Amino acid sequence: MPTAPASRYTERLTADNCAVLLIDHQTGTMLGVQDIRLDQFRSNVLALAETAKTHALPTVLTASYAEGPNGPLMPELLEMFPDAPYIARPGMINAWDDPRFVNAVEKTGRKKLIMSGVTSDVCLMFPALSALAAGYDVYCVYDASGCWDLMSELTASMRLVQAGCIVTNWAAIAADLQSDWRRPTAAGTLETFRQHLPFYSMLSNNQEAVRRQAKAAAK
């Protein structure tokens, strides 16, 4: 008989069981991302952050050596989460090597960690592997992470999967958390989709046009 998958691969995400870790989305390092257009990459990061905001997920921000060439954290993230823990690491490459970061994660009280970072093969992978070793369920959001080239991104994703991480995209995270369009967070989720999925914005425009035409015809 086939072996049933471990529960961490099948359990649903909810607003009560997960936290979001945004790692090293710094305006210097992000310039080196080449596996995805920079404007699309920025949009994906903001979409994931807005999803965390919509569902009131505990969120932890961190940056490494921000006063150096890595540059400061994206200002939009700091503005979006003014009260979230922000760990400015003085030198540790692996965020999990900073006890303040680990403490901030522990304080969320969540065992499912949704993580993204730059670069995928370092800033995301190292703390993701450390979190796995510490007993967390780790969701790595590949399209809100980035790398120097596509092969590096693909090999990083393969290593994360081999280790036991769940590799996914921000839209799947948002849809899983929303789960039902009748829930009160639907307006926020729809707005994130409109802003960061161009095709969805067009679908919404088409739907509104059809509604207006139906109303006009009914008069």
Give the domain CATH number at 167.
Answer: 3.40.50.850
Residue 112 lies in a domain: yes
Range of the domain at 166: 16-180
8 Å CB contact between 84 and 61: yes
Q: List, in order, residues 6 or more apart from 11 with CB less than 8 Å away.
A: 17, 112, 137
Q: List, in order, residues 6 or more apart from 61 with CB less than 8 Å away.
A: 22, 73, 77, 78, 81, 84, 85, 86, 87
Structural domain count of the chain: 1
Residue 163 lies in a domain: yes
Residue 24 lies in a domain: yes
Q: Is 18 a catalytic residue?
A: no
**pLDDT, position 64:** 95
Instruction: Report d(CA 21, CA 41) in Å as an integer.
Output: 17
Q: Which pLDDT tens digits describe the chain residue by residue (219 residues)?
A: 455 567 777 899 999 999 999 999 999 999 999 999 999 999 999 999 999 999 999 999 999 988 888 899 999 999 999 999 999 999 999 999 999 999 999 999 999 999 999 999 999 999 999 999 999 999 999 999 999 999 999 999 999 999 999 999 999 999 999 999 999 999 999 999 999 987 665 555 555 655 666 666 776
Residue 120 lies in a domain: yes
- Which of 123, 140, 147, 165 does the annotation list as catalytic? 123
Q: How many other β-carbons are positioned within 10 Å of the β-carbon of residue 209?
A: 10
Residue 202 lies in a domain: no
Q: Which two tokens stand for residue 24?
A: 């090293």
Burial state string for 83-92 with b = 16 or more CB within 10 A and e = fewer than 16: ebbbbebeeb
3-class SS at 218? helix
The amino acid occupying position 34 is Q
Q: List, in order, residues 6 or more apart from 189 with CB less than 8 Å away.
A: 51, 54, 174, 175, 177, 178
Residue 197 lies in a domain: no
Would you give the end-to-end CA distance of the chain in angstroms? 62
Instruction: Report d(CA 200, CA 189) in Å as an integer.
Output: 12
The residue among 212, 170, 168 whose CA lies nearest residue 189 is 170
> Which residue blocks in 26-124 are alpha helix, DSSP H?
38-54, 75-80, 99-108
Residue 136 lies in a domain: yes
Rg (CA), the chain: 18
